[in-house]
């Protein structure tokens, strides 16, 4: 049995976003329990030159949305980056998850033999679909989801590896 591009992309994207949404639920509950303004967590960052939690979640969602669209050869919808609360961040994730459900395995699997074009730092880059998925999209998705997790963990939210991985 071989692994399809759809299985390696859309199903993984959906799982990472579901786990991230559950982590946000834990953060919201922790903020309420400890009487912390949720905006403290939403604006928290690991280092002064890194993006805050809200931006990490936005980028994780965008990475999944844009990754699936580019693999399918379609133009992704855009989302304004206006979220300032846990419910708004969760709504963005839910929106992307709904969008991911619009793709068929056939659309995504075709990318295995195709080329994906993207702009990076002002230049257009062309990558084989597999290189785009495994060398760009998945590492970026995991980077931003992990950073969001780390921001919350650093701020005392009781999350652990099992929360990041979700139920297996």
Q: Is the pLDDT score of 146 beyond 90?
A: yes
In the prediction, which pLDDT does 82 show? 96
Q: Is the pLDDT score of 1 beyond 80?
A: no
In the prediction, which pLDDT does 113 show? 85
Is the full-model pTM beyond 0.75? yes
In the prediction, which pLDDT does 101 show? 98
Give bridge partners of residue 115 from the DSSP assignment.
128
For the segment(s) 5-162, the CATH number from 1.20.120.450, 3.40.50.720, 1.10.8.590, 1.10.3720.10 is 1.20.120.450
pLDDT (tens digit, 9 = 90+) per residue, 104-116? 999 999 988 888 9
Q: What is the dihedral of CA 79, 134, 45, 162, to 10 degrees?
A: 110
pLDDT (tens digit, 9 = 90+) per residue, 114-144? 889 888 888 999 999 999 999 999 999 999 9
In the prediction, which pLDDT does 157 show? 97
Rounded mean pLDDT, 50-56: 98
* Residue 102: strand, helix, or coil: coil
Residues 97 and 17: their CA atoms lie apart, in Å, by 7
Please, is 134 exposed, middle or buried when counting C-beta atoms within 10 Å of its C-beta (0-12, 13-18, 19+)? middle
pLDDT (tens digit, 9 = 90+) per residue, 27-50? 999 999 999 999 999 999 999 999
Please state the domain extents for the chain: 5-162
Query: Beta strand 115-120 with 123-128: parallel, antiparallel or unpaired?
Result: antiparallel
Residues 115 and 102: their CA atoms lie apart, in Å, by 21
């Amino acid at each position: 049995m071989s692994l399809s591009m759809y299985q390696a992309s859309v199903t993984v994207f959906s799982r990472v976003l579901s786990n991230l949404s559950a982590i946000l639920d834990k953060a919201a509950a922790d903020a309420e329990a400890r009487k912390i303004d949720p905006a403290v967590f939403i604006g928290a960052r690991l280092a002064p030159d890194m993006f805050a939690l809200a931006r990490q979640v936005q980028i994780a969602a965008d990475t999944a949305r844009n990754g699936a669209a580019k693999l399918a050869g379609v133009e992704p919808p855009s989302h304004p980056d206006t979220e300032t609360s846990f419910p708004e961040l969760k709504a963005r994730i839910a929106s992307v998850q709904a969008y991911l459900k619009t793709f068929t395995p056939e659309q995504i699997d075709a990318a295995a033999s195709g080329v994906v074009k993207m702009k990076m730092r002002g230049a257009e880059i062309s990558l084989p679909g597999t290189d785009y998925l495994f060398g760009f999209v998945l590492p970026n998705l995991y980077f931003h989801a992990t950073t969001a997790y780390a921001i919350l963990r650093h701020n005392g939210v009781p999350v652990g590896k099992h929360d990041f991985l979700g139920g297996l």
